[in-house]
Chain A
Amino acid sequence: MITASHPRAEGGGLSGLLLVALPVALLIWLVLWPVLQAVVGTVYFPGKGFSLSSYAFFFTDAYSLRNLWLTLWVTALTSALRVAVAMPIALYLRFRSGSIAALVQSLALFPLFVPSVLVAYAFIRVLGPNGIVDTVLVALGLPKLPTPYLTPAGPIIGLVWERLPLTLLLLLSGLGRVSIASVDAARDLGAGGLTIFSRIILPRIQSSIIVALAFNVLGLFSAFTLPYLLGPASPEMMGPYMQRTFSDNADPLNATTQAVITFAFCAAFGLVYVRAIARGRRGPA
């Protein structure tokens, strides 16, 4: 009698769990446990009991709210700009080949290999007061332009440039699922470039755009180096604000409260990311 052997599902499941055990353990130890500690540390005070006073302070303090608002709109604008700048480059790289496309790809990915501090100082040298742009304008007998250095525009320009490659790679990954034949088919039926983009390409890379935006928001909301070096002193983004509250003001409770609030915003966008991934896995883009 011939019998077929069946791999035991339980064994496969156990192997899978063992494979993820180490990263999950690290996640619990290095992320979830400190988060839990931070949350508990901001709402429970030994000997005094529960209190939401630090949160009440944050959400009633005008300066904290201005910082939160600045962080929110800088994050939103930078994310949108990154996608807006990366999209045409991604479309070009997806549907063109050759030496010029290779050059464009190299230039677009170059910021990936430049540390944030270098970006900041390069920015200051080029766009800062008496920087290269000013020097050129003066040499041409033109008036100097208002510098974006130490204004909200400073970190926005720096942050857009710094993380453009990541957005580009995410969009390229999504566009990889849009076949050239499907674009050709639309052209063949009479569609122009804008129609192809809005009705054929865009609906099929929605998940990738959401993922790119979510990744951007997660990185931007707690960005430190560029907002610290290029941004205004007041209001300031949450990253520098937290650092200053903790170090300069020696106020760990409020710094932790700011961190928990920042984490809550990031977690919300993290959920958007997880949902987008789940949606992408359920069906074709």
Chain B
Amino acid sequence: MAQVRLSGIAKTFGKVTALDAMDLVIDDGELVCLLGPSGSGKSTLLRIIGGFETPSAGAIAIDGVDVTGLPPERRPTAMVFQSHALWSHMTVHGNIAFGLKLRRLPKSEIRDRVERVLDLVGLAGYGGRLPSQLSGGQQQRVALARSLVIEPKILLLDEPFASLDQHLRERLRDEVRDIQQRLGITAVFVTHGQDEALAISDRIVVLADGRMQQVGRPGEIYAEPKTAFVAGFIGAMNMLDGLLADGEIAASGLRLAAEGSGPARLAIRPEDIALSEPADGRAATVRRMIDFGAHVVIDSALADGTHLRIQTDKAIRVAPGERIGIRVDRWTVFTEDGEPRRYRSDTLRSFRDVRYA
């Protein structure tokens, strides 16, 4: 069992609060992504778990043992760094064997374990090479092997694929997920890539300004964002400023059913908008069409010029300047001091019936 428990973790640098009172439990064998924009505190939190930073307040326990005051070398964790952090004067074998030599294991066991882990990361036979003789992806695999070979209870990954190209990043993240599941190791993965987080996580922790915005399964975070920030940060989202009144929200000329009154933010995913005949409060003007092959995204302008992205069928063709009608299937309304309210067009009738009965 390898469970991480963070209780009231906070970190300040001078007058700047990097993390603010965080509570989180990461279960055995779970892969949790810390997701957030730059400066959100995700790397600081990872470094606190790894022992590279000391929290200003709160405690960390691994398997029930308080490790808050322990340095990295005395924690059952291993970190994969964004910059690979390989030692250029050592061979691949030397890099991977370093941690094992520190543990004074017999040479034969070190050799066997290095070979096994090289095989695991798909680099069998590369032990004699220098890091400079490897590609970026291979170097990151070596960094992963170096961390895995000491069999840590918790694997920490700090944006490990940030310096790699998109294609390689996707391949490596699948491999990491596969290895993590095969070994059953608990992992904490820092990323600012929402796709990466959605693709490999058991749970995602969304951070902003040093605070946890939402913790949940990828599908849940995507479908049911709890804050306007999460809604705007995860996946593509149209965020419109609007006003609630008379059972409707009016935003940039768009009018949709919604409860409440006062200012609010209207969130609509591009894939939740369908094309239809133009009507009052349901129309936009095409600015350009982006063909992604599998689908088409129409960048359109609402009545006040606000952009509205619509994801639709690849067979659809529209021309810039063309007036199109839109039908919104799902939308969420965020108010300053309330829970987000979610609406669907197929439940709209009943809602409106109730509202205007």
A binds B: yes
Which of A44-52, A181-189, A243-251 forms contacts with chain B? A181-189
For residue A80, give the distance in angstroms from its CB to the closest CB of chain B. Answer: 23
Assess whether B73 is in contact with A283, with CB atoms less than 8 Å apart.
no
When A189-B146, A189-B150, A195-B102 are in contact, do A182 and B72 touch as well, CB less than 8 Å? no
How many whole Å from B225's CB to the nearest CB in chain A?
33
The docked-state distance in angstroms from the alpha carbon of A195 to that of B98 is: 11
Is A189 a contact partner of B85 (Cβ separation < 8 A)?
A: no
In the complex, A200 has a CB within 8 A of chain B: yes
Measured in the bound complex, the distance between the Cα atoms of B296 and A270 in whole Å is 66
Chain A contacts for B132, CB-based, 8 A: 283-284
Given contacts A188-B73, A190-B73, contact A181 B81 (CB under 8 A): yes
Chain A nearest CB, measured from B193 CB (Å)? 20
Return chain B residues, CB-CB under 8 Å to A203.
Answer: 89
- Given A200-B87, A204-B88, A204-B89, also A186-B98 (CB < 8 A): yes
Q: Which residues from A are CB-within-8-Å of B103?
A: 190
Interface size on A, residues (CB 8 A): 20
Question: With A204-B88, A204-B89 known to touch, is A181 a contact of B50 (CB < 8 Å)?
Answer: no
Residues of B in contact (CB 8 Å), total 25
Contact across chains for A284 and B73 when beta carbons are under 8 A apart: no
- A170-186 interface code vs B (CB 8 A; 1 in, 0 out): 00000000010110111
Chain B residues near A199: list those with CB within 8 A. 98
Q: Mark B91-118, 1 if CB is under 8 A from A, else 0.
A: 0000000110011000000000000000
**Given A195-B102, A284-B132, are A185 and B88 also a contact pair (CB < 8 Å)?**
no
Q: How far is the CA of A189 from the CA of B87 in the complex (A)?
A: 13
A188 engages B102 (CB within 8 Å): no
Tell me, yes or no, whether B249 is within 8 Å of chain A by CB.
Answer: no
Chain A residues lying within 8 Å of B143, measured Cβ to Cβ, are 185
Most buried by B among A185, A190, A195: A185
Does A188 contact B50, Cβ atoms closer than 8 Å? yes
Residues on A with C-beta less than 8 A from B87 are 182, 185-186, 200, 204
Q: C-beta contact mask, A71-92 vs B, less than 8 Å → 1, else 0?
A: 0000000000000000000000
A188/B77 in contact, CB under 8 A: yes
The docked-state distance in angstroms from the alpha carbon of A75 to that of B86 is 37
Whether the pair A184, B81 counts as a contact (CB closer than 8 A) is: yes
List, in ascending order, chain B residues with CB within 8 A of A39's CB: none
Cβ-defined contact, B146 with A184, below 8 A:
no
Asked whether any CB of chain A lies closer than 8 Å to the CB of B79, the reply is: yes
Contact B85 A184 (CB under 8 A): yes
Of B71, B81, B143, the most chain A CB neighbours within 10 A belong to: B81
CB pair A185–B102 under 8 Å, yes or no, is no
**B89: which A residues are within 8 A, CB to CB?**
203-204, 284-285
- Let me know if B82 is at the binding interface, CB within 8 A: yes
Whether the pair B73, A185 counts as a contact (CB closer than 8 A) is no
Query: Is the Cβ of B88 less than 8 Å from the Cβ of A179?
Result: no
> Taking the complex as formed, is A192 at the interface, i.e. its CB lies under 8 A from any CB of chain B?
yes
Report the separation of the CA atoms of residues A272 and B82 in the bound assembly, to the nearest whole angstrom.
Answer: 36
A184 to B85, CA, bound (A): 8
Q: Is A191 an interface residue (CB 8 A)?
A: yes
Closest to A195 in B: B102
B147 to chain A: which residues have CB within 8 Å?
A: 188
Which residues of chain B are near A284, meaning CB under 8 Å?
A: 88-89, 132
Contact A181/B83 with A187-B71, A192-B73, A284-B132 known, Cβ cut-off 8 Å = yes
Contact between chains at A187 and B85 (CB < 8 Å) = no
Q: Which 8 A-B pairs have the closest CB atoms?
A: A189-B99, A181-B85, A185-B85, A284-B88, A181-B81, A190-B73, A203-B89, A190-B102
List 9 other contacts, CB 8 Å, given A184-B81, A188-B73.
A179-B83, A179-B85, A181-B83, A182-B85, A186-B87, A187-B72, A189-B73, A190-B73, A190-B102
Where the two chains meet, the residues of B that have a C-beta atom closer than 8 Å to any C-beta of A are 50, 52, 71-73, 77-79, 81-83, 85-89, 98-99, 102-103, 132, 143, 146-147, 150
Contacts from A to B (Cβ < 8 Å): 179, 181-182, 184-192, 195, 199-200, 203-204, 283-285
